[in-house]
Amino acid sequence: MAFIDWVLHPTELWAAFWFFMRHAPPDEKTVKLQVSGDMKRCYDFLEMTSRSFAAVIQELNPKLRDGICLFYLVLRGLDTIEDDMTIPGARKRHLLETFHEIIYQKGWTFKESGPDEKDALLLVEFDTVINEFLRLPTEFQDVIADITRRMGAGMAKYTRARVESLEDYNEYCHYAAGLVGHGLSRLFAVSGLEDKSVGEQLELANSMGLFLQKTNITRDINEDVLDGRCFWPKAVWSKYADSEEHLIDRENREKGMEALNEMCTNVLQHIPDVLDYLNQIQEPSVFRFCAIPQVMAIATIVLCYDNSRVLDGNVKIRKGEALKLISQATTLDSVKRTFYRYIEQLERKNTPDNPMHDKVAKIIHRTKKDIAGTLKGGAPVDFTKEYLLLVLFFFTVSAFFYSYLTEKNSF
Say whether 219 is catalytic: yes
- Give me the catalytic one of 135, 229, 309, 348: 229
pTM: 0.85
- Give me the catalytic one of 72, 287, 289, 305: 289
Is the separation of the CB atoms in 183 and 71 below 8 Å? yes
* Average model confidence (pLDDT) across the chain: 88
Digit-coded pLDDT (tens) for 223-240: 999 988 899 999 999 999
Nearest to 103 by CA among 69, 126, 85, 124: 126
Say whether 211 is catalytic: no
- Give me the catalytic one of 65, 219, 288, 341: 219
Is residue 113 scored above 70 in pLDDT? yes
Please state which of the ranges 26-30, 188-192, 221-225, 305-309 shows the lowest mean pLDDT. 26-30
Nearest to 86 by CA among 116, 110, 126: 116
User: How many angstroms from the chain centroid is the CA of residue 257?
Assistant: 22
Q: What phi and psi values does residue 333 have, to the nearest 5 degrees?
A: -60, -45
Q: How confident is the model at residue 12 (pLDDT cuts 50, 70, 90)?
A: very low
Start-end of H helices in 220-283:
221-226, 234-237, 244-247, 253-268, 271-279
- Give me the catalytic one of 53, 140, 169, 172: 172
Handedness of CA 270, 162, 311, 296 (dihedral sign): positive
Nearest to 303 by CA among 315, 320, 291: 315
Digit-coded pLDDT (tens) for 131-175: 999 999 999 999 999 999 999 999 999 999 999 999 999 999 999
Say whether 229 is catalytic: yes
Q: In sequence order, which residues have a C-beta less than 8 Å from that of residue 64 and are 6 or more positions away? A: 187, 188, 191, 193, 285, 286
pLDDT for res 35: 74
Most confident of 30-34, 165-169, 376-380: 165-169
Digit-coded pLDDT (tens) for 336-351: 999 999 999 999 999 9
Is the separation of the CB atoms in 109 and 127 below 8 Å? yes
